[in-house]
Amino acid sequence: MKFENILEEIDGFGPFQIVIIVLLCAPRIVLPCHYLLNNFIAALPPHRCDISPLDDGVLFRNLTQQQRLTVSLPLGEDGGFRSCEMFSEPQFQLLVNGSKHFEATTVPCQSGWVYDNSTFTSTLATEWDLVCDRKSLTQTTSSIFFFGVMIGSIAFGFLSDRYGRRNTLLASYIMAAVFGFSSAFANSYVVFAVLRFFTGFGLTESAWIPESARWLLAHGKVEKAKFYLDKCARFNKRGDLSSKINLETLSSIENEGNKDKNYTYLDLIKTPKMRKLTLLTGIVWYGVASTYYGISLNISGLGLNIYLTHFIYAAIEVPAKLMVYCCLNIVGRRKYLWHLRIVVAILGKGLSEAAFTTVFLYTTELYPTVVRQNGLGYTSFMSRLGVSLAPLILMLEDVWTPLPQIIICSVASVCGLIVLPCHYLLNNFIAALPPHHCDISPLDDGGLFRNLTQQQRLTVSLPLGEDGGFRSCEMFSEPQFQLLVNGSKHFEAKTVPCQSGWVYDNSTFTSTLATEWDLVCDRKSLTQTTSSIFFFGAMIGSIAFGFFSDR
Domain count for the chain, please give it: 1
Is 57 contained in some domain? yes
CA distance 337 to 429: 33
- Residue 447, classed as helix, strand or coil, is strand
Question: Tell me, what's the pLDDT at 367?
Answer: 67
Q: Please check the confidence at residue 153 and state whether its pLDDT lies above 70.
A: yes
Is 64 contained in some domain? yes
CA distance 206 to 117: 39
Q: What is the mean pLDDT of the chain?
A: 74
Is 221 contained in some domain? no
Mean pLDDT of the 431-445 span: 79
Question: Tell me, what's the pLDDT at 420?
Answer: 56
CA nearest to 443, candidates 465, 428, 459, 425: 459
Beta-sheet pairing, 60-61 with 448-448: antiparallel
Q: Please check the confidence at residue 241 and state whether its pLDDT lies above 70.
A: no
Question: Tell me, what's the pLDDT at 242?
Answer: 59
CA nearest to 84, candidates 483, 394, 452, 470: 470
Is 343 contained in some domain? no
Is 73 contained in some domain? yes
Is 462 contained in some domain? yes
Task: Provide the 10 A C-beta neighbour count for residue 173.
Answer: 15
Question: Tell me, what's the pLDDT at 331?
Answer: 55
- Are 480 and 109 in contact, with CB atoms under 8 Å apart? no
CA distance 30 to 205: 11
Identity at 368, one-letter amino acid code: P
Q: Structural domain of residue 86, as residue ranges?
A: 48-115+436-503
Is 497 contained in some domain? yes
- Are 431 and 534 in contact, with CB atoms under 8 Å apart? no
CA distance 176 to 201: 7
CA distance 236 to 9: 10
Is 289 contained in some domain? no
| Lowest mean pLDDT, pick from 115-124, 229-238, 466-475 | 229-238
Q: Give the Cα-Cα-Cα angle 45, 50, 56 (nearest 5 degrees).
A: 160
